[in-house]
Structure 1
Amino acid sequence: MAENTEAMQGAEAAGQEGARETSSGSGFKAWLPLILVVVLMPALAWAMTTFVLIPQLQKSLGLEPAAAHAESHGSKKEGPRETVQMNKLLVNVAGTMGSRYLLVSLAAVGRHPEFRARMQENDPQLRDVACGILATKTLADLEKPGARNLVRTELINAFNNVLGEAMVEEIYLTEFAIQ
Protein backbone atom coordinates (compact mmCIF):
# COMPACT_ATOMS: atom_id res chain seq x y z
CA MET A 1 0.00 0.00 0.00
CA ALA A 2 2.89 2.30 0.77
CA GLU A 3 4.19 1.55 -2.68
CA ASN A 4 0.84 2.58 -4.18
CA THR A 5 0.84 5.81 -2.20
CA GLU A 6 4.37 6.67 -3.30
CA ALA A 7 3.53 5.77 -6.89
CA MET A 8 0.42 7.96 -6.76
CA GLN A 9 2.35 10.88 -5.29
CA GLY A 10 5.01 10.49 -7.98
CA ALA A 11 2.33 10.40 -10.68
CA GLU A 12 0.67 13.50 -9.23
CA ALA A 13 4.00 15.36 -9.13
CA ALA A 14 4.71 14.40 -12.74
CA GLY A 15 1.19 15.43 -13.73
CA GLN A 16 1.59 18.85 -12.10
CA GLU A 17 4.90 19.48 -13.87
CA GLY A 18 3.32 18.47 -17.18
CA ALA A 19 0.38 20.77 -16.47
CA ARG A 20 2.75 23.68 -15.76
CA GLU A 21 4.57 23.09 -19.02
CA THR A 22 1.29 22.85 -20.96
CA SER A 23 -0.19 25.94 -19.36
CA SER A 24 2.88 28.06 -20.05
CA GLY A 25 3.11 26.74 -23.61
CA SER A 26 -0.60 27.08 -24.25
CA GLY A 27 -0.63 30.67 -22.93
CA PHE A 28 0.65 31.98 -26.24
CA LYS A 29 -1.62 29.63 -28.13
CA ALA A 30 -4.59 30.91 -26.15
CA TRP A 31 -3.75 34.54 -26.98
CA LEU A 32 -2.89 33.92 -30.64
CA PRO A 33 -6.46 34.34 -32.00
CA LEU A 34 -6.87 37.60 -30.08
CA ILE A 35 -3.55 38.93 -31.33
CA LEU A 36 -4.43 38.00 -34.91
CA VAL A 37 -7.82 39.71 -34.64
CA VAL A 38 -6.34 42.91 -33.19
CA VAL A 39 -3.66 43.06 -35.88
CA LEU A 40 -5.55 41.84 -38.94
CA MET A 41 -8.97 43.47 -38.50
CA PRO A 42 -7.82 47.10 -39.04
CA ALA A 43 -5.82 46.02 -42.08
CA LEU A 44 -8.81 44.10 -43.45
CA ALA A 45 -11.13 47.06 -42.78
CA TRP A 46 -8.79 49.44 -44.60
CA ALA A 47 -8.45 47.10 -47.56
CA MET A 48 -12.20 46.54 -47.84
CA THR A 49 -12.91 50.27 -47.64
CA THR A 50 -10.24 51.25 -50.16
CA PHE A 51 -10.69 48.53 -52.74
CA VAL A 52 -14.36 47.54 -52.39
CA LEU A 53 -16.61 50.10 -50.69
CA ILE A 54 -15.26 53.34 -52.15
CA PRO A 55 -15.16 52.05 -55.76
CA GLN A 56 -18.71 50.71 -55.37
CA LEU A 57 -19.95 54.04 -54.01
CA GLN A 58 -18.23 55.95 -56.80
CA LYS A 59 -19.73 53.60 -59.36
CA SER A 60 -23.25 53.93 -57.93
CA LEU A 61 -22.99 57.73 -57.76
CA GLY A 62 -21.68 57.91 -61.31
CA LEU A 63 -18.32 59.35 -60.27
CA GLU A 64 -15.11 58.23 -61.85
CA PRO A 65 -12.42 56.90 -59.49
CA ALA A 66 -9.88 59.43 -58.25
CA ALA A 67 -6.96 57.78 -60.04
CA ALA A 68 -8.79 57.70 -63.37
CA HIS A 69 -9.99 61.26 -62.79
CA ALA A 70 -6.44 62.46 -62.20
CA GLU A 71 -5.17 60.69 -65.32
CA SER A 72 -7.97 61.87 -67.60
CA HIS A 73 -7.95 65.47 -66.37
CA GLY A 74 -4.30 65.72 -65.40
CA SER A 75 -3.29 67.77 -68.41
CA LYS A 76 -6.12 70.24 -67.87
CA LYS A 77 -5.17 70.91 -64.23
CA GLU A 78 -1.53 71.63 -65.04
CA GLY A 79 -2.09 74.86 -66.92
CA PRO A 80 -1.61 78.29 -65.43
CA ARG A 81 -4.29 79.58 -63.08
CA GLU A 82 -6.60 82.05 -64.73
CA THR A 83 -8.93 84.45 -62.96
CA VAL A 84 -12.16 85.91 -64.32
CA GLN A 85 -13.84 88.77 -62.45
CA MET A 86 -17.59 89.25 -62.02
CA ASN A 87 -18.22 92.66 -60.54
CA LYS A 88 -21.24 94.14 -58.83
CA LEU A 89 -23.87 91.42 -58.64
CA LEU A 90 -26.75 93.18 -56.84
CA VAL A 91 -29.73 91.18 -55.53
CA ASN A 92 -32.53 91.63 -53.02
CA VAL A 93 -32.07 89.64 -49.82
CA ALA A 94 -34.84 87.05 -49.56
CA GLY A 95 -37.52 87.75 -46.96
CA THR A 96 -36.87 91.49 -46.68
CA MET A 97 -39.52 92.60 -49.19
CA GLY A 98 -36.92 94.53 -51.19
CA SER A 99 -35.69 96.64 -48.29
CA ARG A 100 -32.25 94.97 -48.01
CA TYR A 101 -29.70 94.34 -50.75
CA LEU A 102 -26.71 92.08 -51.21
CA LEU A 103 -23.81 93.31 -53.32
CA VAL A 104 -21.27 90.68 -54.36
CA SER A 105 -18.20 90.81 -56.59
CA LEU A 106 -16.33 87.60 -57.19
CA ALA A 107 -13.33 86.13 -58.93
CA ALA A 108 -13.58 82.65 -60.45
CA VAL A 109 -10.34 80.69 -60.79
CA GLY A 110 -9.57 77.72 -63.03
CA ARG A 111 -6.72 75.97 -64.86
CA HIS A 112 -8.56 74.65 -67.91
CA PRO A 113 -6.98 75.87 -71.19
CA GLU A 114 -10.33 77.28 -72.38
CA PHE A 115 -11.36 78.66 -68.97
CA ARG A 116 -11.34 82.38 -69.75
CA ALA A 117 -13.03 81.94 -73.15
CA ARG A 118 -15.78 79.70 -71.77
CA MET A 119 -16.39 82.04 -68.82
CA GLN A 120 -16.75 85.05 -71.15
CA GLU A 121 -18.88 83.10 -73.61
CA ASN A 122 -21.29 82.04 -70.83
CA ASP A 123 -21.16 85.29 -68.85
CA PRO A 124 -24.91 86.06 -69.03
CA GLN A 125 -25.89 82.56 -67.88
CA LEU A 126 -23.26 82.61 -65.10
CA ARG A 127 -24.47 86.00 -63.84
CA ASP A 128 -28.07 84.79 -63.92
CA VAL A 129 -27.22 81.63 -61.98
CA ALA A 130 -25.17 83.59 -59.45
CA CYS A 131 -27.95 86.13 -58.92
CA GLY A 132 -30.49 83.32 -58.60
CA ILE A 133 -28.46 81.59 -55.88
CA LEU A 134 -27.73 84.82 -54.01
CA ALA A 135 -31.37 85.96 -54.16
CA THR A 136 -32.51 82.81 -52.30
CA LYS A 137 -30.43 83.69 -49.23
CA THR A 138 -32.22 85.25 -46.27
CA LEU A 139 -30.62 87.67 -43.86
CA ALA A 140 -30.34 84.85 -41.30
CA ASP A 141 -28.62 82.63 -43.89
CA LEU A 142 -26.09 85.34 -44.69
CA GLU A 143 -25.29 86.05 -41.04
CA LYS A 144 -24.56 82.42 -40.12
CA PRO A 145 -20.93 81.44 -39.54
CA GLY A 146 -19.62 79.84 -42.71
CA ALA A 147 -22.25 81.48 -44.92
CA ARG A 148 -19.62 82.72 -47.35
CA ASN A 149 -18.17 79.21 -47.73
CA LEU A 150 -21.65 77.84 -48.42
CA VAL A 151 -22.23 80.53 -51.05
CA ARG A 152 -18.84 79.74 -52.64
CA THR A 153 -19.63 76.03 -52.82
CA GLU A 154 -23.06 76.62 -54.36
CA LEU A 155 -21.62 79.04 -56.91
CA ILE A 156 -18.80 76.66 -57.91
CA ASN A 157 -21.28 73.82 -58.44
CA ALA A 158 -23.68 76.03 -60.40
CA PHE A 159 -20.92 77.54 -62.57
CA ASN A 160 -19.54 74.10 -63.39
CA ASN A 161 -23.04 72.95 -64.36
CA VAL A 162 -23.41 75.89 -66.74
CA LEU A 163 -19.93 75.34 -68.21
CA GLY A 164 -20.59 71.61 -68.67
CA GLU A 165 -17.51 70.38 -66.79
CA ALA A 166 -15.50 71.09 -63.65
CA MET A 167 -13.62 74.17 -64.83
CA VAL A 168 -14.08 76.45 -61.83
CA GLU A 169 -11.77 75.38 -59.01
CA GLU A 170 -12.18 78.31 -56.63
CA ILE A 171 -14.33 81.36 -56.17
CA TYR A 172 -13.11 84.31 -54.18
CA LEU A 173 -15.69 86.78 -52.91
CA THR A 174 -13.94 90.10 -53.33
CA GLU A 175 -16.97 92.15 -52.23
CA PHE A 176 -19.77 90.90 -49.97
CA ALA A 177 -21.93 93.67 -48.58
CA ILE A 178 -25.43 93.63 -47.14
CA GLN A 179 -27.33 96.89 -46.94
Structure 2
Amino acid sequence: MVRSRDGKTAIVVVVILLLVVCSVAGVAVLKKNGHGKSSKDAVPEGPVSMVTIGELIVNLADSSEIHYAKTNVVLEVHGKMEMPEGEGGDASTANAPLRDAIISIVSSKHLADLSRPGGKEALKAAIMDACNKRLKDAKVTSVYFNEFAMQ
Protein backbone atom coordinates (compact mmCIF):
# COMPACT_ATOMS: atom_id res chain seq x y z
CA MET A 1 0.00 0.00 0.00
CA VAL A 2 2.73 2.45 0.84
CA ARG A 3 4.43 1.92 -2.50
CA SER A 4 1.33 2.66 -4.59
CA ARG A 5 0.77 5.83 -2.63
CA ASP A 6 4.37 6.96 -3.24
CA GLY A 7 3.90 6.30 -6.95
CA LYS A 8 0.83 8.54 -7.07
CA THR A 9 2.65 11.24 -5.14
CA ALA A 10 5.53 11.12 -7.60
CA ILE A 11 3.13 11.51 -10.54
CA VAL A 12 1.43 14.49 -8.89
CA VAL A 13 4.81 16.14 -8.25
CA VAL A 14 5.89 15.61 -11.87
CA VAL A 15 2.61 17.07 -13.18
CA ILE A 16 2.97 20.14 -10.94
CA LEU A 17 6.57 20.65 -12.08
CA LEU A 18 5.48 20.42 -15.73
CA LEU A 19 2.76 23.03 -15.14
CA VAL A 20 5.26 25.39 -13.51
CA VAL A 21 7.78 24.95 -16.35
CA CYS A 22 5.10 25.53 -19.00
CA SER A 23 3.84 28.64 -17.19
CA VAL A 24 7.34 30.12 -16.97
CA ALA A 25 7.96 29.36 -20.65
CA GLY A 26 4.65 30.98 -21.62
CA VAL A 27 5.43 34.15 -19.68
CA ALA A 28 8.89 34.32 -21.28
CA VAL A 29 7.41 34.01 -24.78
CA LEU A 30 4.81 36.72 -24.11
CA LYS A 31 7.43 39.12 -22.76
CA LYS A 32 9.67 38.49 -25.76
CA ASN A 33 6.80 39.22 -28.19
CA GLY A 34 5.61 42.39 -26.47
CA HIS A 35 2.97 40.91 -24.13
CA GLY A 36 1.05 39.28 -26.95
CA LYS A 37 0.68 42.44 -29.04
CA SER A 38 1.25 42.07 -32.73
CA SER A 39 3.96 44.09 -34.41
CA LYS A 40 1.19 46.04 -36.16
CA ASP A 41 0.02 47.39 -32.78
CA ALA A 42 3.51 48.26 -31.58
CA VAL A 43 4.41 51.94 -31.35
CA PRO A 44 7.55 52.64 -33.40
CA GLU A 45 10.62 53.95 -31.67
CA GLY A 46 11.69 57.45 -32.53
CA PRO A 47 10.52 60.98 -32.06
CA VAL A 48 7.02 61.97 -31.00
CA SER A 49 5.66 64.87 -32.99
CA MET A 50 2.45 66.82 -33.24
CA VAL A 51 1.46 67.11 -36.91
CA THR A 52 -0.94 69.95 -37.67
CA ILE A 53 -3.19 69.00 -40.55
CA GLY A 54 -4.89 72.36 -40.51
CA GLU A 55 -8.41 73.54 -41.10
CA LEU A 56 -10.72 71.33 -43.12
CA ILE A 57 -14.21 72.17 -44.34
CA VAL A 58 -15.90 69.03 -45.59
CA ASN A 59 -19.39 68.26 -46.89
CA LEU A 60 -21.03 65.47 -44.91
CA ALA A 61 -22.70 62.43 -46.50
CA ASP A 62 -26.26 63.58 -45.79
CA SER A 63 -28.31 63.45 -48.98
CA SER A 64 -31.56 65.05 -47.79
CA GLU A 65 -29.90 68.31 -46.70
CA ILE A 66 -26.53 69.94 -47.16
CA HIS A 67 -24.42 69.68 -44.02
CA TYR A 68 -20.75 70.31 -43.49
CA ALA A 69 -18.12 69.91 -40.81
CA LYS A 70 -15.37 72.41 -40.14
CA THR A 71 -12.46 71.10 -38.12
CA ASN A 72 -8.82 71.69 -37.33
CA VAL A 73 -6.99 68.40 -36.80
CA VAL A 74 -3.71 67.70 -35.02
CA LEU A 75 -2.18 64.20 -34.99
CA GLU A 76 0.21 62.82 -32.39
CA VAL A 77 2.68 60.73 -34.38
CA HIS A 78 5.28 58.34 -32.98
CA GLY A 79 8.20 57.48 -35.24
CA LYS A 80 9.79 59.13 -38.23
CA MET A 81 7.50 60.76 -40.79
CA GLU A 82 8.73 60.46 -44.37
CA MET A 83 9.21 63.79 -46.11
CA PRO A 84 8.71 64.01 -49.87
CA GLU A 85 11.80 63.61 -52.00
CA GLY A 86 13.27 66.52 -53.87
CA GLU A 87 13.82 70.10 -52.90
CA GLY A 88 10.26 71.23 -53.56
CA GLY A 89 8.73 69.23 -50.71
CA ASP A 90 7.37 71.03 -47.67
CA ALA A 91 5.27 70.10 -44.66
CA SER A 92 1.95 70.63 -46.47
CA THR A 93 3.06 68.26 -49.24
CA ALA A 94 4.12 65.64 -46.71
CA ASN A 95 0.71 65.89 -45.02
CA ALA A 96 -1.28 65.56 -48.26
CA PRO A 97 -1.92 61.80 -47.92
CA LEU A 98 -3.01 62.29 -44.31
CA ARG A 99 -5.28 65.23 -45.23
CA ASP A 100 -6.81 63.11 -48.00
CA ALA A 101 -7.45 60.23 -45.59
CA ILE A 102 -9.10 62.56 -43.07
CA ILE A 103 -11.26 64.24 -45.71
CA SER A 104 -12.41 60.82 -46.96
CA ILE A 105 -13.36 59.69 -43.46
CA VAL A 106 -15.16 62.90 -42.42
CA SER A 107 -17.05 63.20 -45.72
CA SER A 108 -18.37 59.65 -45.30
CA LYS A 109 -20.13 60.57 -42.03
CA HIS A 110 -23.66 61.86 -41.55
CA LEU A 111 -24.59 64.70 -39.21
CA ALA A 112 -26.44 62.21 -36.99
CA ASP A 113 -23.32 60.01 -36.72
CA LEU A 114 -21.25 62.90 -35.42
CA SER A 115 -23.98 64.38 -33.20
CA ARG A 116 -24.68 61.26 -31.15
CA PRO A 117 -22.76 60.57 -27.93
CA GLY A 118 -19.38 59.08 -28.78
CA GLY A 119 -19.65 60.19 -32.40
CA LYS A 120 -16.56 62.36 -32.35
CA GLU A 121 -14.56 59.68 -30.52
CA ALA A 122 -15.56 57.15 -33.19
CA LEU A 123 -14.50 59.67 -35.83
CA LYS A 124 -11.11 60.06 -34.12
CA ALA A 125 -10.64 56.27 -34.14
CA ALA A 126 -11.54 56.08 -37.84
CA ILE A 127 -9.14 58.92 -38.66
CA MET A 128 -6.37 57.20 -36.70
CA ASP A 129 -6.91 53.91 -38.55
CA ALA A 130 -7.01 55.58 -41.97
CA CYS A 131 -3.86 57.62 -41.31
CA ASN A 132 -1.96 54.61 -39.96
CA LYS A 133 -2.67 52.74 -43.20
CA ARG A 134 -0.83 55.50 -45.06
CA LEU A 135 2.22 55.68 -42.77
CA LYS A 136 5.15 53.27 -43.03
CA ASP A 137 7.63 54.01 -40.24
CA ALA A 138 5.34 56.02 -37.98
CA LYS A 139 2.09 55.53 -36.11
CA VAL A 140 -0.67 57.96 -35.17
CA THR A 141 -1.43 57.40 -31.49
CA SER A 142 -3.87 60.27 -30.85
CA VAL A 143 -6.13 62.58 -32.82
CA TYR A 144 -7.03 66.02 -31.49
CA PHE A 145 -9.65 68.48 -32.74
CA ASN A 146 -8.59 72.08 -32.10
CA GLU A 147 -11.90 73.15 -33.65
CA PHE A 148 -14.99 71.21 -34.56
CA ALA A 149 -18.23 72.68 -35.89
CA MET A 150 -21.10 71.19 -37.89
CA GLN A 151 -23.96 72.79 -39.72
TM-score class normalised by the smaller sequence: 0.5 to 0.7
- Residues 109, 149 of structure 1: alpha-carbon distance in 2 compared, 3 angstrom cutoff: same
Could you say which residue in structure 2 is the equivalent of 1:93?
Answer: 60
Structure 2 stretches lacking a partner, 5+ long: 1-22, 85-89
- Specify the code of the residue in structure 2 equivalent to 1:143: S
- Residues 74, 152 of structure 1: alpha-carbon distance in 2 compared, 3 angstrom cutoff: closer
- Paired with 1:111 and 1:131, the residues of 2 have a C-alpha distance of 22
How many residue pairs end up in the alignment? Answer: 120
User: Offset of 1:164 from its aligned partner?
Assistant: 2.5
User: Offset of 1:69 from its aligned partner?
Assistant: 6.1
Choose between structure 1 and 2 for higher RCO, CA contacts under 8 A separated by at least 6 residues: 2
User: Offset of 1:154 from its aligned partner?
Assistant: 0.7
Q: Secondary structure at the match of 1:66?
A: coil
- Specify the code of the residue in structure 1 equivalent to 2:150: I
Richer in strand (by share): 2
- Residues 1:110 and 2:77 are matched in the alignment: yes
Larger of the two Rg values belongs to structure: 1
- Paired with 2:73 and 2:43, the residues of 1 have a C-alpha distance of 26
- Residues 166, 69 of structure 1: alpha-carbon distance in 2 compared, 3 angstrom cutoff: farther
CA RMSD, Structure 1 to Structure 2 (Å): 3.7
Give the counterpart of 2:45 among 76, 94, 99: 76
- Residues 1:159 and 2:141 are matched in the alignment: no
1:38-53 correspondence runs (5 A): 51=26
Identity rate, percent: 24
1:99-178 correspondence runs (5 A): 99-112=66-79, 114-115=80-81, 117=83, 120=91, 122-178=94-150
Could you say which residue in structure 2 is the equivalent of 1:66?
Answer: 34
- Paired with 2:105 and 2:139, the residues of 1 have a C-alpha distance of 19
Q: Secondary structure at the match of 2:117?
A: coil
Structure 1 stretches lacking a partner, 5+ long: 1-46, 56-63
- Specify the code of the residue in structure 1 equivalent to 2:81: F
- Paired with 2:64 and 2:125, the residues of 1 have a C-alpha distance of 26
1:11-30 correspondence runs (5 A): none
- Paired with 1:89 and 1:75, the residues of 2 have a C-alpha distance of 28
